[in-house]
Amino acid sequence: MSNGPSEAQTPHEVLFAYAEHVYDVLGFADPVAVRHRTVKAHVKADRWVEALRKARNDLGLVFFSWLSAIDWSNEVQVGDAPAGHVVERFEILAIVADITEGHWVTFTTDVSKDDPHIESLVSVYRGANWHEREAFEMFGIEFIGHPNLRKIYLPEGFEGNPMRKSFPLLSRELRPWPGSVDVEPMPEATS
Residue 190 domain flag: no
Domain assignment of residue 154, given as a range: 11-76+85-174
pLDDT of residue 71 exceeding 80, the answer is: yes
CATH classification of the domain holding 131: 3.30.460.80
**Distance between CA 16 and CA 9 in Å, rounded?**
11
Query: Which residues sit opposite 95 in a β-bridge?
Result: 66, 106
pLDDT of residue 170 exceeding 60, the answer is: yes
Supply the pLDDT for residue 1.
41
Please answer whether residues 163 and 69 qualify as being in contact, where contact means their C-beta atoms are separated by less than 8 angstroms.
yes
Report the 10 Å Cβ neighbour count for 128. Answer: 22
Q: For residue 41, give the nearest of 71, 21, 14 by alpha carbon.
A: 21
How many CA atoms lie less than 13 Å away from 110 in the CB half-sphere?
A: 12
Supply the pLDDT for residue 109.
98
**Distance between CA 5 and CA 101 in Å, rounded?**
10
Supply the pLDDT for residue 173.
56
Count how many domains the chain has: 1
Residue 153 domain flag: yes
Who has greater pLDDT, 65 or 175? Answer: 65
Who has greater pLDDT, 4 or 143? Answer: 143
Give the mean pLDDT of 152-171. 86
The continuous run of DSSP H or E covering 69 comes out as: strand 63-72
Give the mean pLDDT of 63-91. 87
pLDDT tens, residue by residue, 95-144: 999 999 999 999 999 999 999 999 999 999 999 999 999 999 999 999 99
